[in-house]
């Protein structure tokens, strides 16, 4: 069972690297549409309603994954193929790299308006008043966080629990992106989705930070600064998980992240991560390269774990 799961994870990683997200009938998009429709029926300004909403969607997705896993475990090839398809469906490494690369190119060309228009593809910040440095900072932070969320975490849970882990994690992370923020509509209703996503990312975010430390020299970065900044600054971040990998990226690239961050629902004053210079377009490009290195490391670690997972 372990070998089939490991091969499936690697197959899914390869499919994401070659093909990117499925162009048609993307299961994550279908899940999002279902979640939106269910929200219209279940939304209420209460945490209890949000708990029920999260339980129905994540629980239903995990149950579907369990059914697939039980059917496929009868033959290693079936398990390999189903794990590979699920991994391909939930990973976002190629899309993340493509958006980051395009952002780096636009910033290097001085096309601030194009970069502002692209930023919503990476994060939910208000880009209207960001200058080149602010856009570069937002991009590096988003690349770092999404490397953990869209690559390392699904591979981690896929290695541990197979298809149910892959699908369940992606369902939770998608709900967090949809309803897990602090706007008036979702402050209570989205609480359960946000807390579940925090819980599921506790271990993967720290694995992502470790892989960032190890991968820093590959992109001309500093492993020692990555480790020091991660250990010193990560806990100051308001997120128990995003701060881990953002701090590690800041140290690896020897830049300064954090500060005033404007969202549609309000303004957050983030702690400063790192003591280097403010990021520029070159750091965006290197952050994308580092993201790829971390993703490659996560693929190897997840395959290793899957082989020995009973």
Q: What is the pLDDT of residues 205-263, one digit of tens each?
A: 999 999 999 999 999 999 999 999 999 999 999 899 999 999 999 999 999 998 887 76
Supply the DSSP string of 15-56, one letter for each residue: HHHHH-S-SSS-HHHHHHHHHHHHHHHH--SSHHHHHHHHHH
For the chain, what is the mean pLDDT? Answer: 93
- Give 267's strand partners: 262
Q: In this predicted structure, which of 20-34, 86-100, 167-181 has the lowest mean pLDDT?
A: 20-34
DSSP E strands in the chain: the ranges are: 260-263, 266-269
Are 254 and 290 a contacting pair, CB within 8 Å? Answer: no
Q: What is the pTM of this model?
A: 0.93
Q: Where are the beta strands (DSSP E) in 116-213?
A: none
Question: How far lies 179's CA from each of 63, 110, 244, 254, 275, in Å?
Answer: 22, 34, 23, 34, 34
Confidence of residue 264 (pLDDT cuts 50, 70, 90): low
Per the structure, the complete domain to which residue 164 belongs is given by 2-308
Number of domains in the chain: 1
Instruction: Give the Cα separation of 16 and 303 in Å (integer).
Output: 16
Q: What is the pLDDT of residue 304?
A: 96
Say whether pLDDT at 25 is over 80. Answer: no
């Amino acid at each position: 069972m372990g070998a089939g799961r490991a091969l499936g994870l690697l197959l899914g990683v390869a499919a994401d690297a070659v093909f990117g997200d499925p162009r048609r009938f993307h299961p994550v998009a279908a899940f999002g549409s279902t979640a939106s429709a269910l929200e219209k029926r279940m939304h209420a300004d209460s945490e209890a309603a949000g708990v029920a909403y999260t339980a129905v969607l994540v629980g239903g997705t995990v149950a579907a994954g369990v059914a697939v896993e039980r059917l496929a475990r009868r033959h290693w090839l079936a398990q390999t193929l189903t794990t590979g398809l699920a991994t391909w469906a939930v990973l976002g490494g190629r899309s993340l790299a493509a958006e980051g690369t395009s952002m780096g190119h636009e910033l290097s060309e001085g096309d601030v308006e194009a970069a502002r228009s692209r930023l919503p593809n990476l994060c939910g910040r208000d880009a209207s008043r960001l200058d080149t440095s602010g856009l570069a900072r937002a991009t590096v932070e988003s690349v770092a966080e999404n490397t953990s969320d869209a690559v390392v975490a699904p591979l981690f849970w896929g290695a541990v629990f197979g298809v149910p882990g892959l699908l369940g994690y992606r369902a939770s992370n998608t709900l967090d992106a949809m309803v897990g923020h602090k706007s008036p509509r979702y402050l209570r209703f989205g609480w359960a989705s946000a807390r579940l996503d925090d819980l599921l990312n506790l271990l993967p975010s720290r694995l992502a930070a470790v892989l960032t430390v190890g991968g820093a020299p590959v992109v001309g970065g500093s492993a020692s600064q990555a480790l020091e900044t991660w250990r010193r600054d990560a806990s100051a971040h308001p997120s128990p998980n995003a701060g881990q990998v953002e701090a590690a990226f800041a140290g690896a690239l020897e830049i300064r992240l954090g500060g005033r961050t404007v969202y549609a629902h309000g303004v957050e004053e983030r702690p400063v991560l790192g003591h280097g210079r403010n990021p520029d377009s070159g750091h965006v490009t290197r952050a994308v390269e580092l993201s790829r290195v971390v993703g490659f490391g996560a693929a190897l670690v997840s395959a290793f774990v899957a082989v020995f997972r009973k």
